[in-house]
Amino acid sequence: MNEVTTTKEQPSGRPRRRLWVAALGCFLVGAIVGGAAVGIHAQSAPPKPAPRATPRRSSKEILDEFAANPSPGFALDMNSGEFDALLRQRLGKQCELALELWEDYPRHAALGRLLFARWMNLVNFFGEPARVRSETMRLLAQRPPGTLAALAKFVNAQASIRDGATTWDDARADVEQALSIEREPRDAQGWKCSLLLDLARCRTADPKLQRELAERALIHARCDEQRADVRVVLALLDRIGQPIDLEFDDALDGRHVKFADLRGRCVLLHVWSPTDPDATHRSLAPLEPELRAAHATVVTIDPLAPADGRATEITSARALGVRSPFFVDRAPFDDTWAYRFGLRGVPHLLLVAPDGRLTAAVTSPLALVGRLAAPKSR
Protein backbone atom coordinates (compact mmCIF):
# COMPACT_ATOMS: atom_id res chain seq x y z
CA MET A 1 0.00 0.00 0.00
CA ASN A 2 1.47 3.05 -1.14
CA GLU A 3 1.77 5.80 1.57
CA VAL A 4 0.18 9.03 0.57
CA THR A 5 1.99 12.09 2.01
CA THR A 6 0.03 15.46 2.15
CA THR A 7 1.74 18.84 2.50
CA LYS A 8 0.08 22.16 3.68
CA GLU A 9 -0.15 24.67 0.87
CA GLN A 10 1.58 28.01 1.69
CA PRO A 11 -0.48 31.10 0.96
CA SER A 12 0.63 33.38 -1.81
CA GLY A 13 2.16 36.81 -0.95
CA ARG A 14 -0.20 38.82 -3.22
CA PRO A 15 -3.23 39.07 -0.87
CA ARG A 16 -1.07 40.40 1.94
CA ARG A 17 0.42 43.06 -0.33
CA ARG A 18 -3.09 44.08 -1.38
CA LEU A 19 -4.10 44.61 2.24
CA TRP A 20 -1.11 46.83 2.86
CA VAL A 21 -1.78 48.86 -0.26
CA ALA A 22 -5.45 49.29 0.71
CA ALA A 23 -4.54 50.42 4.22
CA LEU A 24 -1.97 52.84 2.91
CA GLY A 25 -4.51 54.26 0.43
CA CYS A 26 -7.11 54.77 3.13
CA PHE A 27 -4.54 56.57 5.26
CA LEU A 28 -3.53 58.87 2.42
CA VAL A 29 -7.14 59.65 1.52
CA GLY A 30 -7.94 60.39 5.16
CA ALA A 31 -4.93 62.62 5.49
CA ILE A 32 -5.88 64.57 2.36
CA VAL A 33 -9.52 64.96 3.41
CA GLY A 34 -8.57 65.91 6.96
CA GLY A 35 -6.02 68.44 5.75
CA ALA A 36 -8.59 69.99 3.46
CA ALA A 37 -11.10 70.23 6.30
CA VAL A 38 -8.52 71.89 8.53
CA GLY A 39 -7.69 74.34 5.74
CA ILE A 40 -11.34 75.21 5.20
CA HIS A 41 -11.82 75.76 8.92
CA ALA A 42 -8.72 77.89 9.08
CA GLN A 43 -10.02 80.06 6.26
CA SER A 44 -13.46 80.49 7.84
CA ALA A 45 -12.17 81.13 11.37
CA PRO A 46 -11.44 84.76 12.33
CA PRO A 47 -7.77 85.72 12.26
CA LYS A 48 -5.97 85.70 15.54
CA PRO A 49 -5.56 89.16 17.06
CA ALA A 50 -2.18 90.75 16.64
CA PRO A 51 -0.02 90.61 19.74
CA ARG A 52 -0.05 93.79 21.86
CA ALA A 53 2.71 96.22 21.06
CA THR A 54 3.20 96.78 24.79
CA PRO A 55 2.31 94.58 27.75
CA ARG A 56 -1.01 95.27 29.44
CA ARG A 57 -0.63 97.68 32.32
CA SER A 58 -2.58 97.80 35.54
CA SER A 59 -5.45 100.25 35.82
CA LYS A 60 -3.57 102.03 38.61
CA GLU A 61 -0.62 102.71 36.30
CA ILE A 62 -2.97 104.21 33.70
CA LEU A 63 -4.77 106.39 36.24
CA ASP A 64 -1.50 107.56 37.81
CA GLU A 65 -0.16 108.64 34.41
CA PHE A 66 -3.47 110.39 33.64
CA ALA A 67 -3.19 112.35 36.92
CA ALA A 68 0.38 113.30 35.99
CA ASN A 69 -0.83 114.96 32.75
CA PRO A 70 -3.29 117.70 33.82
CA SER A 71 -4.36 120.44 31.43
CA PRO A 72 -1.94 123.37 31.76
CA GLY A 73 -3.14 126.83 32.72
CA PHE A 74 -2.68 129.76 30.34
CA ALA A 75 -0.79 132.84 31.46
CA LEU A 76 -0.61 136.07 29.48
CA ASP A 77 3.19 136.17 29.69
CA MET A 78 3.55 132.71 28.08
CA ASN A 79 4.74 132.23 24.54
CA SER A 80 1.66 131.01 22.66
CA GLY A 81 3.67 128.55 20.58
CA GLU A 82 5.17 126.88 23.63
CA PHE A 83 1.82 126.83 25.41
CA ASP A 84 0.10 125.30 22.37
CA ALA A 85 2.75 122.55 22.17
CA LEU A 86 2.41 121.78 25.88
CA LEU A 87 -1.38 121.79 25.66
CA ARG A 88 -1.39 119.41 22.71
CA GLN A 89 1.03 117.07 24.46
CA ARG A 90 -0.99 116.94 27.69
CA LEU A 91 -4.42 116.63 26.10
CA GLY A 92 -3.17 114.11 23.56
CA LYS A 93 -1.78 111.95 26.35
CA GLN A 94 -5.12 112.16 28.21
CA CYS A 95 -6.89 110.92 25.08
CA GLU A 96 -4.49 107.98 24.69
CA LEU A 97 -4.81 106.92 28.33
CA ALA A 98 -8.61 107.06 28.27
CA LEU A 99 -8.64 104.80 25.22
CA GLU A 100 -6.22 102.38 26.89
CA LEU A 101 -8.43 102.12 29.98
CA TRP A 102 -11.52 101.61 27.80
CA GLU A 103 -9.91 98.77 25.85
CA ASP A 104 -8.34 96.96 28.81
CA TYR A 105 -10.82 97.71 31.63
CA PRO A 106 -14.21 98.45 30.00
CA ARG A 107 -16.05 98.21 33.35
CA HIS A 108 -13.67 100.30 35.46
CA ALA A 109 -15.31 102.81 37.80
CA ALA A 110 -13.08 105.66 36.54
CA LEU A 111 -13.81 105.02 32.86
CA GLY A 112 -16.51 107.69 32.65
CA ARG A 113 -14.18 110.38 34.00
CA LEU A 114 -11.39 109.55 31.55
CA LEU A 115 -13.69 109.13 28.55
CA PHE A 116 -15.36 112.44 29.34
CA ALA A 117 -11.97 114.16 29.31
CA ARG A 118 -11.03 112.38 26.06
CA TRP A 119 -14.22 113.32 24.25
CA MET A 120 -14.22 116.93 25.42
CA ASN A 121 -10.60 117.28 24.28
CA LEU A 122 -11.43 115.82 20.87
CA VAL A 123 -14.48 118.07 20.45
CA ASN A 124 -13.22 121.36 21.87
CA PHE A 125 -9.51 121.31 21.08
CA PHE A 126 -8.65 118.79 18.38
CA GLY A 127 -11.80 119.48 16.34
CA GLU A 128 -12.92 115.87 15.84
CA PRO A 129 -16.65 115.83 16.72
CA ALA A 130 -17.43 113.14 14.11
CA ARG A 131 -14.91 110.80 15.75
CA VAL A 132 -16.48 111.44 19.15
CA ARG A 133 -19.95 110.65 17.82
CA SER A 134 -18.63 107.36 16.41
CA GLU A 135 -17.06 106.40 19.75
CA THR A 136 -20.09 107.34 21.85
CA MET A 137 -22.35 105.27 19.60
CA ARG A 138 -19.93 102.35 19.89
CA LEU A 139 -20.00 102.64 23.67
CA LEU A 140 -23.81 102.79 23.74
CA ALA A 141 -23.94 99.61 21.61
CA GLN A 142 -22.04 97.85 24.43
CA ARG A 143 -24.94 98.62 26.83
CA PRO A 144 -22.88 100.36 29.52
CA PRO A 145 -24.22 101.12 33.03
CA GLY A 146 -26.82 103.87 33.30
CA THR A 147 -24.53 106.73 34.36
CA LEU A 148 -21.98 105.95 31.66
CA ALA A 149 -24.76 105.66 29.05
CA ALA A 150 -26.14 109.05 30.09
CA LEU A 151 -22.65 110.55 29.83
CA ALA A 152 -22.23 109.12 26.33
CA LYS A 153 -25.59 110.57 25.22
CA PHE A 154 -24.62 113.96 26.61
CA VAL A 155 -21.26 113.98 24.82
CA ASN A 156 -22.88 112.74 21.60
CA ALA A 157 -25.24 115.73 21.74
CA GLN A 158 -22.32 118.08 22.43
CA ALA A 159 -20.41 116.64 19.46
CA SER A 160 -23.43 116.91 17.16
CA ILE A 161 -23.60 120.64 17.94
CA ARG A 162 -20.00 121.05 16.75
CA ASP A 163 -20.14 118.58 13.84
CA GLY A 164 -20.45 120.49 10.60
CA ALA A 165 -21.89 117.44 8.84
CA THR A 166 -24.85 117.33 11.24
CA THR A 167 -27.92 119.38 10.34
CA TRP A 168 -29.51 121.84 12.74
CA ASP A 169 -32.56 119.60 13.15
CA ASP A 170 -30.41 116.55 13.96
CA ALA A 171 -28.26 118.50 16.41
CA ARG A 172 -31.30 119.87 18.22
CA ALA A 173 -32.91 116.41 18.29
CA ASP A 174 -29.76 114.97 19.88
CA VAL A 175 -29.80 117.75 22.48
CA GLU A 176 -33.47 117.23 23.32
CA GLN A 177 -32.87 113.48 23.72
CA ALA A 178 -30.01 114.13 26.12
CA LEU A 179 -32.10 116.66 28.06
CA SER A 180 -34.79 114.01 28.60
CA ILE A 181 -32.40 111.95 30.78
CA GLU A 182 -33.55 112.39 34.37
CA ARG A 183 -30.29 111.70 36.21
CA GLU A 184 -27.35 113.90 35.26
CA PRO A 185 -23.96 112.19 34.87
CA ARG A 186 -21.77 112.87 37.88
CA ASP A 187 -18.86 113.79 35.60
CA ALA A 188 -20.85 116.50 33.79
CA GLN A 189 -22.61 118.63 36.38
CA GLY A 190 -24.84 121.28 34.85
CA TRP A 191 -24.62 119.63 31.43
CA LYS A 192 -28.21 120.54 30.47
CA CYS A 193 -27.34 124.21 30.81
CA SER A 194 -24.12 123.83 28.82
CA LEU A 195 -25.86 121.93 26.00
CA LEU A 196 -28.53 124.58 25.51
CA LEU A 197 -26.05 127.43 25.77
CA ASP A 198 -23.65 125.79 23.32
CA LEU A 199 -26.51 125.16 20.89
CA ALA A 200 -27.46 128.84 21.11
CA ARG A 201 -23.94 130.15 20.56
CA CYS A 202 -22.73 127.69 17.95
CA ARG A 203 -25.45 126.41 15.63
CA THR A 204 -27.81 129.32 14.99
CA ALA A 205 -27.46 133.02 14.18
CA ASP A 206 -31.13 133.76 14.81
CA PRO A 207 -31.13 136.16 17.82
CA LYS A 208 -34.72 135.30 18.79
CA LEU A 209 -33.99 131.56 18.84
CA GLN A 210 -30.66 132.15 20.59
CA ARG A 211 -32.46 134.04 23.35
CA GLU A 212 -35.03 131.26 23.72
CA LEU A 213 -32.29 128.65 24.13
CA ALA A 214 -30.28 130.84 26.52
CA GLU A 215 -33.32 131.44 28.73
CA ARG A 216 -33.93 127.67 28.86
CA ALA A 217 -30.26 127.23 29.78
CA LEU A 218 -30.69 129.66 32.66
CA ILE A 219 -33.40 127.44 34.12
CA HIS A 220 -30.98 124.47 34.18
CA ALA A 221 -27.98 126.43 35.54
CA ARG A 222 -26.49 124.59 38.52
CA CYS A 223 -24.21 127.29 39.96
CA ASP A 224 -23.49 131.03 39.95
CA GLU A 225 -20.74 130.56 37.36
CA GLN A 226 -23.15 129.01 34.88
CA ARG A 227 -25.77 131.66 35.55
CA ALA A 228 -23.12 134.31 34.87
CA ASP A 229 -22.20 132.62 31.56
CA VAL A 230 -25.83 132.65 30.44
CA ARG A 231 -26.26 136.32 31.37
CA VAL A 232 -23.14 137.18 29.34
CA VAL A 233 -24.76 135.59 26.27
CA LEU A 234 -28.05 137.38 26.93
CA ALA A 235 -26.20 140.69 27.32
CA LEU A 236 -24.40 140.08 24.03
CA LEU A 237 -27.73 139.38 22.33
CA ASP A 238 -28.99 142.71 23.67
CA ARG A 239 -26.37 144.37 21.47
CA ILE A 240 -27.93 142.99 18.28
CA GLY A 241 -29.09 145.95 16.20
CA GLN A 242 -26.70 148.40 17.87
CA PRO A 243 -23.80 150.11 16.06
CA ILE A 244 -20.23 148.91 16.66
CA ASP A 245 -17.42 151.37 17.35
CA LEU A 246 -13.81 150.23 17.00
CA GLU A 247 -10.57 152.05 16.22
CA PHE A 248 -7.05 150.58 16.12
CA ASP A 249 -3.67 150.44 14.38
CA ASP A 250 -3.35 147.54 11.97
CA ALA A 251 -0.74 145.16 13.39
CA LEU A 252 0.26 143.97 9.91
CA ASP A 253 0.85 147.21 8.02
CA GLY A 254 0.61 149.91 10.71
CA ARG A 255 -2.26 151.85 9.11
CA HIS A 256 -4.85 153.39 11.40
CA VAL A 257 -8.27 151.78 11.00
CA LYS A 258 -11.51 153.46 12.00
CA PHE A 259 -14.53 151.19 11.97
CA ALA A 260 -16.67 154.07 10.74
CA ASP A 261 -14.60 154.05 7.53
CA LEU A 262 -15.79 150.48 6.83
CA ARG A 263 -19.43 151.53 6.55
CA GLY A 264 -21.10 150.53 3.31
CA ARG A 265 -19.86 146.96 3.28
CA CYS A 266 -20.45 143.78 5.27
CA VAL A 267 -17.85 143.26 8.01
CA LEU A 268 -17.01 140.04 9.85
CA LEU A 269 -15.19 140.53 13.14
CA HIS A 270 -13.19 137.35 13.67
CA VAL A 271 -12.03 137.17 17.29
CA TRP A 272 -8.88 135.07 17.09
CA SER A 273 -8.02 131.98 19.15
CA PRO A 274 -4.33 132.48 19.99
CA THR A 275 -3.73 128.91 21.18
CA ASP A 276 -4.47 127.48 17.73
CA PRO A 277 -4.40 130.22 15.07
CA ASP A 278 -4.10 127.78 12.17
CA ALA A 279 -7.30 125.92 13.03
CA THR A 280 -9.09 129.18 13.82
CA HIS A 281 -8.16 130.66 10.46
CA ARG A 282 -9.14 127.52 8.56
CA SER A 283 -12.52 127.47 10.35
CA LEU A 284 -13.63 130.33 8.10
CA ALA A 285 -13.41 128.10 5.01
CA PRO A 286 -17.20 127.44 4.82
CA LEU A 287 -17.80 131.20 4.61
CA GLU A 288 -15.17 132.11 2.03
CA PRO A 289 -17.47 131.94 -1.05
CA GLU A 290 -20.07 134.14 0.63
CA LEU A 291 -17.42 136.55 1.92
CA ARG A 292 -16.11 137.02 -1.62
CA ALA A 293 -19.58 137.37 -3.12
CA ALA A 294 -20.57 139.96 -0.51
CA HIS A 295 -17.23 141.83 -0.88
CA ALA A 296 -17.02 141.58 2.90
CA THR A 297 -14.14 142.77 5.05
CA VAL A 298 -12.76 140.40 7.68
CA VAL A 299 -11.27 142.10 10.74
CA THR A 300 -9.14 139.72 12.82
CA ILE A 301 -8.94 140.50 16.54
CA ASP A 302 -6.42 139.01 18.98
CA PRO A 303 -7.77 139.77 22.46
CA LEU A 304 -5.06 137.98 24.44
CA ALA A 305 -1.91 139.93 23.59
CA PRO A 306 0.63 140.91 26.26
CA ALA A 307 2.57 144.16 26.23
CA ASP A 308 4.99 142.93 23.57
CA GLY A 309 2.18 142.79 21.01
CA ARG A 310 2.29 139.00 20.73
CA ALA A 311 4.68 138.90 17.82
CA THR A 312 4.10 135.18 17.36
CA GLU A 313 0.45 135.83 16.48
CA ILE A 314 1.45 138.43 13.92
CA THR A 315 3.97 136.01 12.42
CA SER A 316 1.32 133.29 12.31
CA ALA A 317 -1.17 135.65 10.68
CA ARG A 318 1.28 136.53 7.92
CA ALA A 319 2.20 132.87 7.40
CA LEU A 320 -1.48 131.94 7.08
CA GLY A 321 -2.14 134.69 4.56
CA VAL A 322 -4.37 136.73 6.85
CA ARG A 323 -5.04 140.12 5.28
CA SER A 324 -5.43 143.44 6.99
CA PRO A 325 -6.95 144.70 9.15
CA PHE A 326 -5.57 142.82 12.16
CA PHE A 327 -6.23 144.23 15.63
CA VAL A 328 -3.86 143.04 18.37
CA ASP A 329 -5.26 144.27 21.70
CA ARG A 330 -2.43 145.01 24.13
CA ALA A 331 -4.69 145.72 27.11
CA PRO A 332 -5.01 143.30 30.05
CA PHE A 333 -7.53 140.57 29.37
CA ASP A 334 -10.35 142.07 31.45
CA ASP A 335 -9.89 145.45 29.74
CA THR A 336 -9.67 144.35 26.12
CA TRP A 337 -12.20 145.58 23.59
CA ALA A 338 -13.58 142.05 23.22
CA TYR A 339 -14.07 141.67 26.97
CA ARG A 340 -15.68 145.09 27.37
CA PHE A 341 -17.91 144.37 24.38
CA GLY A 342 -19.19 141.23 26.10
CA LEU A 343 -17.11 138.38 24.66
CA ARG A 344 -15.88 135.89 27.26
CA GLY A 345 -14.44 133.21 24.99
CA VAL A 346 -12.59 132.71 21.74
CA PRO A 347 -13.07 132.15 18.90
CA HIS A 348 -16.11 134.34 18.23
CA LEU A 349 -17.68 135.86 15.13
CA LEU A 350 -19.60 139.14 14.95
CA LEU A 351 -21.44 139.96 11.72
CA VAL A 352 -21.90 143.66 11.03
CA ALA A 353 -24.27 144.95 8.36
CA PRO A 354 -23.21 147.68 5.89
CA ASP A 355 -24.97 150.26 8.08
CA GLY A 356 -22.54 149.44 10.91
CA ARG A 357 -25.02 147.60 13.14
CA LEU A 358 -24.42 144.19 14.70
CA THR A 359 -26.66 141.50 13.15
CA ALA A 360 -25.27 138.23 14.57
CA ALA A 361 -22.93 136.95 17.30
CA VAL A 362 -21.90 133.28 17.11
CA THR A 363 -18.98 130.97 17.84
CA SER A 364 -19.14 128.82 14.69
CA PRO A 365 -18.93 129.95 11.05
CA LEU A 366 -21.49 127.26 10.18
CA ALA A 367 -24.21 129.34 11.83
CA LEU A 368 -23.53 132.19 9.37
CA VAL A 369 -23.71 130.15 6.16
CA GLY A 370 -26.42 131.74 4.00
CA ARG A 371 -26.52 134.93 6.08
CA LEU A 372 -24.06 137.04 4.09
CA ALA A 373 -26.00 138.71 1.29
CA ALA A 374 -24.17 139.80 -1.84
CA PRO A 375 -24.53 143.52 -2.63
CA LYS A 376 -27.47 144.32 -4.89
CA SER A 377 -26.67 145.54 -8.38
CA ARG A 378 -27.77 149.12 -9.04
- Say what the pTM is: 0.75
Q: Answer for the pair 99, 65: CB distance below 8 angstroms, yes or no.
A: no
**Structural domains counted in the chain:** 2
Does 181 share its domain with 67?
yes
What sign does the dihedral 142-152-161-348 (CA atoms) show?
A: negative
- Tens of pLDDT, residues 238-278: 999 999 888 999 888 888 999 888 888 899 999 886 666 66
Which CA distances in Å does 81 have to 266, 311, 333, 365? 32, 11, 19, 25
Does 184 share its domain with 266?
no
31 part of a folded domain: no
Q: Can you name the residues that pair with 299 across neighbouring β-strands?
A: 269
Tell me how far apart the alpha carbons of residues 131 and 163 are, in angstroms, rounded to a whole number: 10
Strand 297-302 relative to strand 256-258, pairing: unpaired
Does 355 share its domain with 255?
yes
The CATH number of the domain holding residue 286 is 3.40.30.10
Tell which of 138, 163, 188 closes a domain: 188
Residue 226's identity, in one-letter code, is Q
335 DSSP 8-state letter: G
Question: What percentage of residues in the chain have a pLDDT greater than 90?
Answer: 44
- Tens of pLDDT, residues 129-184: 999 999 999 999 999 988 899 999 999 999 999 998 899 999 999 999 999 988 77
Please provide the average confidence, as pLDDT, over all residues in the chain: 81
- Residue range of the domain that includes 341: 247-368
DSSP assignment of 189-234: TTHHHHHHHHHHHHS---HHHHHHHHHHHHHH--SHHHHHHHHHHH
Does 271 share its domain with 168?
no
